[in-house]
């Protein structure tokens, strides 16, 4: 029997409810916290409460959660030196909700 959303799920849902983009991965959380955040976001995405994608934020690929219905740019296909095709995230759209993200802004916090 479920007891409702967990701590990380509530933090993510609160920010998504405000129409913000939530950066799920970053250096400010421990490895265990990052795993818990990704797991919480994946369960919310499976329940249809948000979308998960990868965006380039400040030059680094970051996993982000966005509100349902928000337009997500399709990843760019590139061919590596090994001849394989890879999907590379595009830059974060400039008109995305949440605007500029500070060092810890966008990351779920308790």
Mean pLDDT for the stretch of residues 53-75: 78
Residue with tokens 């998504």: 16
Is residue 95 domain-resident? no
Is residue 104 domain-resident? no
**Residue 21: which CATH number?**
1.10.10.10
Mean residue pLDDT of the chain comes to: 75
Is residue 110 domain-resident? no
Does residue 25 have a pLDDT over 70?
A: yes
Q: Report the 10 Å Cβ neighbour count for 92.
A: 19
Which domain, by its residues, includes 60? Answer: 7-71
Is residue 106 domain-resident? no
Q: What's the confidence (pLDDT) of residue 109?
A: 43
Question: Which residue has better confidence, 56 or 110?
Answer: 56
Is residue 67 domain-resident? yes
Q: What's the confidence (pLDDT) of residue 100?
A: 38
Q: What's the confidence (pLDDT) of residue 75?
A: 67
Mean pLDDT for the stretch of residues 96-103: 42
Is residue 66 domain-resident? yes
Is residue 51 domain-resident? yes
Is residue 31 domain-resident? yes
**Which residues are CB-contacts of 91 (< 8 A; sequence separation ≥ 6)?**
55, 56
Pairing of strands 60-66, 76-79: unpaired
What is the C-alpha to C-alpha distance for residues 41 and 52, in angstroms, rounded to an integer? 8
Residues 63 and 25: beta-carbon distance below 8 Å: yes
What is the C-alpha to C-alpha distance for residues 37 and 42, in angstroms, rounded to an integer? 9
pTM of the model: 0.65
Question: Which residue has better confidence, 18 or 103?
Answer: 18
The count of structural domains within the chain is: 1
């Amino acid at each position: 029997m479920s007891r409702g959303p967990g701590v990380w799920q509530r933090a993510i849902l609160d920010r998504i409810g405000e129409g913000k983009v939530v950066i799920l991965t970053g250096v400010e959380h421990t490895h265990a916290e990052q795993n818990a955040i990704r797991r919480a976001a994946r369960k919310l995405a499976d329940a249809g409460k948000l979308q998960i994608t990868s965006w380039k934020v400040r030059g680094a690929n970051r996993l982000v959660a966005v509100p349902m219905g928000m337009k997500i740019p399709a990843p760019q296909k590139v061919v590596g030196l090994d001849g394989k095709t890879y999907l590379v995230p595009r830059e974060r759209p400039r008109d995305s909700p949440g605007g500029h993200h500070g060092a810890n802004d966008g990351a779920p916090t308790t």
